[in-house]
């Protein structure tokens, strides 16, 4: 039985995952964790997260720069507020909030990403309802 995928939407200047990913953008240590890079986490549209869930992903990890240090000034604050429903457009009510994790990590913090990602992946794959 194949594992459900978890998609990471990450910006180019957050934690540097290049060294832990293979050529297809899959994280080597964590099975089924795929990385999609964007110039800024502020580019993430909530409907991208909805699309991932509808297509069968177990969960989505949103990763941006440290709050206060977005390379493009406000991108991480924008997606953060959209996820919390404080800014339009937001996540549809039908999206299971337990399956979304947001991390704000600087470039040297790939270890922190890996540890949070591993915990999250096993958590969302264990969700049955």
Closest approach, Cβ 19 to another protein, in A, equals 14
Judge residue 37's burial from the number of C-beta atoms within 10 Å of its C-beta, 0-12 exposed, 13-18 middle, 19 or more buried: middle
Letters for 82-111 (x = contact with another protein by CB under 8 A, - = none) are xxx--xxx-x-----xx-xxxxxxxxxx--
Alpha carbons 44 and 103: distance in angstroms, whole number? 14
By CB under 8 A, name the one of 56, 94, 126, 129 that touches another protein.
56
Alpha carbons 98 and 106: distance in angstroms, whole number? 24
Closest CA to 79 of 13, 15, 10, 12: 10
| Contact present, 44 and 62 (Cβ < 8 Å) | yes
Q: Does 80 engage in binding with another protein (CB under 8 A)?
A: yes
Closest approach, Cβ 13 to another protein, in A, equals 9
Which residues are near another protein by CB under 8 A? 2-3, 5, 7, 9, 32, 34, 36, 38-40, 42-45, 47-48, 51-53, 55-57, 66-69, 71-75, 78-80, 82-84, 87-89, 91, 97-98, 100-109, 112, 116
């Amino acid at each position: 039985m194949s594992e459900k995928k978890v998609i990471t939407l990450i910006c180019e200047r957050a934690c540097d995952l290049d060294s832990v990913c293979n050529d297809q953008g899959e994280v080597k240590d964590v099975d089924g964790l795929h990385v999609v890079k964007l110039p800024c986490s502020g580019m993430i549209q909530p409907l991208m997260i909805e699309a991932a869930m509808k297509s069968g992903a177990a969960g989505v990890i949103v990763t941006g720069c440290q709050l206060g240090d977005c390379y493009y000034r406000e991108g991480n604050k924008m997606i953060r507020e959209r996820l919390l429903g404080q800014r339009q457009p937001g996540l549809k009510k039908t999206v299971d909030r337990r399956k979304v994790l947001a991390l704000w990590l600087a470039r040297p913090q790939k270890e922190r990403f890996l540890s949070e990602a591993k915990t999250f992946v096993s958590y969302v794959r264990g969700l049955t309802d």
